[in-house]
Chain A
Amino acid sequence: MSTESQPGPAGFSRRDLLGRCSTGFGGVALAALLAGRVQAAAAPRAQRVIFLFMSGGVSHVDSFDPKPELARRAGQPMPVPVERTQFNQNGTIMPTIWPFKPRGQCGTEVSELFPKIATQVDKLAVIRSMTAKFSEHAQGNLFMHTGFPFLGHPSAGAWISYGLGRACEELPGYVVLQSGDAGPPHGGLPCFGNGYLPSDHQGSVLKIDANPPLRDIRPADPLAIQRAKLDFLASFNRRFGARSAAEEAIEAAIRSHETAFRMQAAVPELTDLSGETAATKTAYGLDAADKQQAAYARQCLLARRLAERGVRFIELSCLAYNIGGGNRANPWDQHGAIKQGHAKMAAQVDQPIAALLADLEARGLLDDTLVVWAGEFGRTPFAQGTAGRDHNPYGFSVWMAGGGVRGGTVFGATDELGYRAVEQPVTLYDLWATVLHCLGLDHEALTFRHGGRDMRLTDVHGHVMHDILA
């Protein structure tokens, strides 16, 4: 449904929606600050985050962490003690098949697995010394998202929506995009949960090519009837509010009804790409022959549209090819056939992500949008069996780009085999501390009292990685 040419029954147009979304921002964030909920860490450089979550775990030694030593030791057993692996089918050292070379002005080495993202490398700060604590997907995913390995804690997106406040009333503060067959990662929806934070901040799963894309968003009545009902309701509700001495609460409920009503138009308008140029669509790869790539491209384009509307945290979901153990919940999880599996997965996301970075930059959005690319762990430098790699949380690569980040940098290093982070090892707590810092939030001050404790996204840990900040 396009509301551009034909004003909806409520009488608002696309321009109204965009306007409404962007004006709310200052007030809400200020309100959050005044409420004593957060403390500014520094001047915010970013206003929102796009989280490119690579569920299942990308092999860092095949992508962003060059390890020539692996070729020299190919076929040999690991020369150092190895931690327990998830499948306990440890093979010998397995070099990459994707050559690395220096890219861009900065010369950061990226492998042929991501040739297009490599063209954007001057925008990236690659962190090669990331560590996690769990070798298992569900715990790893929950830990990555919430700082804790089990459900019940707020996701980073929820914390950020809470900390900054909503900038757009008609859209959720934290949106998880899915297209095609994409689904939630292992650990399920609690990865996107609000935990003990107000439920307003939970991740809303937007299935962008489903109808309806958001649960219950399709009006059950013709809009005119719904409008009449809402007006009827409002008058009754006000009477009730007066009678029960709850005018404020009831006014808030009436506003919530109105927001819901407008969301019914805002969401279809958001997913309607008819206004995007053919060039844009092609650049993202919407017309790719590979249907998973086209679906992921659609998410990337939607991510930009959500960024434009001021959504605080936008998370994307990869699609699976069911190769080598990588399935719907963990598409990158190539315990076998990594050559085929990683090649397909990388091809799926490479062009869309590269296009997203370029598009954000072209539209001036990259200055205040922080893009974070990460899986829940990396993969072992030695083979699982002969053709796959097992989970490796002891050292892996993630990257950040955009608002507040110094592009073209490399931070930290793993050992010569890419097994453990040895130089400037950092944790996922440090990653989120840094993200919050870029958003102007102090990760130690962004707390919520729950169950007798002041809870944080970074638990009792976390240091900002100042070296990668602009």
Chain B
Amino acid sequence: MIRSQVLPYWLAFCVSVIGQAAGGSEADELFERTIRPYLVERCYSCHATHGTRENGLAVDWAGGLAEGGYYGPAVVPGEPEQSAIMLALRHAEDLPMPKGGPKPSAAIVNAFERWIRLGAPDPRQEPPTREQLAAATSWETTFQRRLSWWSLQPLADPAVPAAPKQSGWLASSDHPVDRFLFNRMAEAGVTPAGEADPDTLLRRATLVLTGLPPTLEQRRTFLEDQQPDRWAHLIDRLIDSPAFAERWARHWLDCVRYCETHGSEGNPAIPHAWQFRDWCIRAIDSDLPIDQFFREQVAGDLLPNPRIDRERQINESALGIGQLRMVPHGFNPTDPLDELVTFTDNQIDVLSKAFLGMTVSCARCHNHKFDAISQADFYALFGVLESCRPAVIQADAPGRDASKREQLAELKQQIKAELAAGWRAATDDLYPRFDRALATDQAEADELEQLEASPPEAADDPADKKKLAERKKKWEADRNRLRDRRRARREPGHPLAVFYRLADAAAPDQQAVWRSLQQEAAATGNTIQADRGGLPPPKTWYASGNGLAGATADGAFRVEPEGERVLTGLLPAGIHSNLLVSSAGGVLHSPQFAIDGRPIRMLVAGTGGARGRIVIWNYPRALGLNYFRTSLNDDQFQWITLQNSYFTGEEAHLELATGADIPVETVAGKRSWFSLAAVDRGDGPLPPPLPPAGLFTLLPADDPLLSAATVDRADLAAGYAGVAQRAVEAWQRGQATATDVRLINALLEADLLPARMDELPPVVPLVSQYRTIDRSIAPPVRAPGVHEGTVDDQPLFVRGDHRQPTDRVPRRFLEAIDPAPFPAGSSGRLQLAEAIVAADNPLTPRVFVNRVWHHLFGRGIVASVDTFGAMGEQPSHPDLLDFLAARFRVEGWSLKKLVRQLATSRAFRLAAPPTASAAEADPTNRLVSHWQLRRLEGEAIRDSLLTVSGLLDRKQYGPSAGDRANRRSIYVPVLRNVEEPFLSVFDPPSTQSTQGRRDISQVPAQALVLLNGDLARRCSEALARSLLAEAELPDAKARVRRLFLRSLGRPPTADELAASIAWLDGEASRRGIDPSAAAAAVPLWQDLAHAVLNLEEFIHVN
């Protein structure tokens, strides 16, 4: 069982008998095996010759112990009672040592006492040199020593104890759990209790396994089952019920601090958080092997063979990583690296506690004080998680809608061909279209004039102020849009500038205008002027989501999903979302880079609240204060500027996301897309949106127009027809240049080329078919998760100070389990997931099995269910724990099998009262010799109220619903910063960290919420009305019986029945209710029901 060659000091914690080894006295042996390691491990850090010597004490040599400190000699050989060290070890007086550490076990205390009594022989006759001390306390030595801690040892495979000689209900069980338990009871001379009565057992099993009280129907089925294995039948029925999965999913949610908001100012929602909750329920319902359950929570999105739900077309595995996102986020932090450390620390804290029962988070600033966890371990995991970016992920099954997409692609080709044909035809006949273009331009001029003449004015109603501001904003936007459009048409870069400016000029001036245009053209370049300034080029960016399919050359387009137009225009070379499917979406994010303060600009277009932003150290919120972002609601390309000088020196990446794919502050429900054409970083003026493409630059060098002294509209039409034809042909061949695209777009905008379906009859059936298919494609399933980003090993932060980075730590798992670094090229989440469930990791199965035990028996074999390190508690039945863990692993990590195994033990069916011997020898029931009454969790209390009153809505899954929806409590929203009135008084779990064991407090607020709160009142009334409505209940006694059966799962005793009837009679007469009416008086029955629902029995499992 012990794999380590080092001093097995852990034995001293578990075993009280220290054998005498050959070659040394018992005392020498004690010193080397127990005393020295304990002193080094627990005492040297504060009480050593070269350290702080707290209280003047040095325990690192015999003289130091003899001299002692403030409390007198630490060790007086032969006299434990005069040795101050015994006070400290026993936690006597005001001297609980080690400070902040685990209390020394009885075995340790006994060993010290024995050693002192034997004369306290100590070979350390000289104070150690600094070097000796350093060697004894070095991390390497300490780490090796700590590796022998019990929970890090390989799983043992202990034999099931033989059948005991004793007789009795538990003793005669051949169930392995009972054998192990009884074995220990027999050793301790404790007699177990007998079996509880059937009603108690039914209620116990139903509540413990499903979180709901048994219904009358369930009771009948159970009691009528006369088979010898009716108990096993019951357990099977319960495990197979949907309620089981909801109950056990909630247990797991406690471990991963499930919540639906990020907290802090604004408390933003974690979009689709409920998907993770539903994933948990489905996983447990389908008895997903727990190793896979864990794997998916770390790297479900990366698995080579994910679980695909074909029916719902979902990559089910990917939903598992939602737990990584249940982190807190600050609001607009001035120190974004601190924010990164905070939320990554939270991820590490939860991962290590929930899966491993280890507190790795403690090692952020220094090596762990008590466990074999180094500071490097913390940063090894940090590197893995920091290489991932908070995201809304898409979890569609691979290949979802593939055939529809193929059809769309095919149709799009055909549409393109028809467009090209239509455009070619139009270029032959440009002249009449000129008039239309000029008319449109004039109409916009009129519209602008009208708009400018009528700015919005204040209404009389002062409450209208906000609306006025909104109207003003819209008015300004409309005005600017019109102005900008008219102005843009006349700018030198506009392909039709010549055309509009000639039209603007009076006839006599046209020659001069023509000449000046020629000169302007000669001075204008024709290339894109953006300068990336060292930013990663967009083709190296990471893309995720079903709306992104790599970069495209000039000339791509989107088919309009509705309306008269086939398309709005052609797209420049770049990365464009939603080129095929309008409901798709995605995220485009750049590699990490250092911020140098120069503004960053992106040439983008987008709609539906798509967002471009600069993401500093993965901080996912963007409120537009210092974390710059721009919401895109314009299909025209524009430069957006992302200021960042505030964050000079930090690291960042750029992100473009469609509205529904923004990680926090998501914009959902609108069609959204984005396009990225260029990135620029620099202090200079903004480059123009796109390369200029005036008529002059487009004409061939020998075109006579270029040298013409003057021009008329026929010449212009001929000139444009020529350049347009060439551009359309190039586009048709897939060889359009940026200039071609620019020209075609200008012609489309000016209506010189057709884009509406009424002008392009051949495309109508194609577009209509396209749209039908497009509409039939549902939006992707979205869920909280992360995207892989730039992979980096994390520098260790000196003393946890994030402004003091030092050497990088390779990404890897905990050194105590597996020190091999993870390969380059990915974050390492997949490797981390595998390491957590690897066969040589004994923690994971032990910790999980213990959690299940805890939920069944009320206390874990290791009571500190989240802490299997030195600060935790020792296992009460280490052999049983290993037996169960080994079986669990071998038998396929099945939760349902494990629960069935534990629930079919007789130990689970023990009655509550302890026997005399148990009360005497085992008052805290560590031996599990009887049932321990326990209070239900808030969720189970609320669900019980709703069940017995008949109000419970058994709808499963989907977005969370408030208390009044009467659904099971697992579907009630869990929001940071906000309390749910009922659940909050019954010790709800932390939303901050792993909490595998609920607190149980008793506070008056619980009594108040049940006595005066809305839920209990509603349920009492419903229960009363339903009792009165049941025709087969002839009289008050029958109703009282039914009330007890429904609420408590048992009939009332004769006393209780009498007391209830007496209470009803007394209340009726006190309230002046006529005896004949009393039997049917709702208020009276409601009050009785209310009283019953307030019984302690109702909120406890017996």
Contact = CB atoms under 8 A, between A and B. Distances in A.
A2 B978 CA distance: 33
Given A137-B331, A240-B1095, A199 B985 contact: yes
Given A83-B334, A188-B978, A260-B1004, A453 B1063 contact: no
A454 B100 contact: yes
Contacts of B1006: 256
A223 B977 CA distance: 34
Contact of A451 (B342, B353, B977, B1059): B353
B50 interface: no
B126 interface: no
Interface stretch (A14-22, A70-78, A146-154): A146-154
B1100 interface: yes
Contacts of B872: 452
Contacts of A240: 1095-1097, 1100, 1102
Interface in A190-243: 190, 195-196, 198-200, 204, 215-221, 224-226, 228-229, 232-233, 235-237, 239-241, 243
Contacts of B353: 451-452
A150 B992 CA distance: 8
A115 B335 CA distance: 37
B1096 A447 contact: no
Nearest to B992: A152
A187 B1017 CA distance: 32
A150 B263 contact: yes
Contacts of A152: 990-993
A233 B1095 contact: yes
A28 interface: no
B1102 A190 contact: no
B692 interface: no
Contacts of B992: 150-152
Interface in B1003-1032: 1003-1009, 1011-1013, 1017
A229 to B, nearest CB: 5
B330 interface: yes
B993 A451 contact: yes
Given A253-B1002, A453-B359, A217 B1008 contact: yes
A36 B90 CA distance: 13
Given A149-B330, A452-B867, A452-B869, A187 B978 contact: no
B334 A451 contact: no
B263 A245 contact: no
Nearest to B259: A151
B264 A200 contact: no
For chain A, give the interface size range: 35 or more
A47 B646 CA distance: 47
Contacts of A39: 94
Contacts of B100: 447, 453-454
B912 interface: yes
Nearest to B626: A88
Interface stretch (B220-228, B412-420, B534-542, B1086-1094): B1086-1094
Contacts of B331: 136-139, 186
B459 interface: no
Contact of A86 (B334, B864, B999, B1096): B334
A138 B265 contact: yes
A246 interface: yes
Contacts of B1002: 200, 249, 252-253, 256
Contacts of A226: 1011
A372 B458 CA distance: 47
A109 B451 CA distance: 59
Interface string B253-277: 0000000000111010000000000
Contact of A188 (B94, B267, B1008): B267
A199 B987 contact: yes
A447 B976 CA distance: 25
B979 interface: yes
Contact of B912 (A86, A196, A239, A243): A243
B912 A244 contact: yes
A250 interface: yes
Contact of B867 (A189, A225, A451): A451
B625 A136 contact: no
Interface string B619-651: 000000110000000000000000000100000
B1067 interface: yes
Nearest to A205: B979
Interface in A114-167: 134-139, 149-152
B914 interface: yes
B28 interface: no
A220 B1017 contact: yes
A257 interface: yes
A241 B867 contact: no
Contacts of B913: 244-245
Nearest to B1003: A200
Interface in A252-270: 252-253, 256-257, 259-261, 263-264
Interface in B829-864: 864
Contact of B263 (A85, A138, A220, A259): A138
A431 B534 CA distance: 48
A241 B1095 CA distance: 11
B1001 interface: yes
B334 A136 contact: yes
Contacts of B309: none
Contact of A236 (B625, B866, B1059, B1087): B1059
A363 interface: no
Nearest to A195: B990
A252 B1001 CA distance: 11
A84 interface: yes
B265 A225 contact: no
A232 B979 CA distance: 31
A218 B1007 contact: no
Nearest to B371: A452
Nearest to B361: A451
B994 A451 contact: yes
A186 to B, nearest CB: 4
B1008 A136 contact: no
Contacts of B328: 150-151
Contacts of A236: 1056, 1059, 1095, 1097
Contacts of A188: 263, 267, 976-978
Interface in B977-991: 977-979, 981, 985, 987, 990-991
B1011 A220 contact: yes
A150 B342 contact: yes
A452 B1102 CA distance: 30
B914 to A, nearest CB: 6
Contacts of B342: 149-150
The 9 closest A-B pairs by CB, nearest first: A188-B977, A152-B992, A260-B1007, A260-B1004, A452-B359, A138-B264, A452-B871, A245-B913, A246-B933
Given A137-B331, A236-B1059, A236-B1097, 18 more contacts: A135-B333, A149-B342, A150-B346, A152-B990, A152-B993, A188-B976, A188-B977, A198-B1001, A200-B1002, A216-B1009, A256-B1003, A259-B1004, A260-B1004, A261-B1007, A449-B871, A451-B866, A452-B869, A452-B871
17 contacts: A87-B626, A136-B330, A136-B332, A138-B265, A152-B992, A188-B263, A215-B1008, A216-B1008, A217-B1012, A220-B1013, A221-B1011, A228-B1063, A229-B1087, A233-B1091, A233-B1096, A244-B1097, A452-B872
Interface of B: 94, 96, 100, 263-265, 267, 328, 330-335, 342, 346, 349, 353, 359, 362, 625-626, 646, 864, 866-867, 869, 871-872, 912-914, 930, 933, 976-979, 981, 985, 987, 990-994, 999, 1001-1009, 1011-1013, 1017, 1053, 1055-1056, 1059, 1063, 1066-1067, 1070, 1087, 1090-1091, 1094-1097, 1100, 1102
Interface of A: 36, 39, 83-88, 134-139, 149-152, 186-190, 195-196, 198-200, 204, 215-221, 224-226, 228-229, 232-233, 235-237, 239-241, 243-246, 249-250, 252-253, 256-257, 259-261, 263-264, 329, 447, 449, 451-454
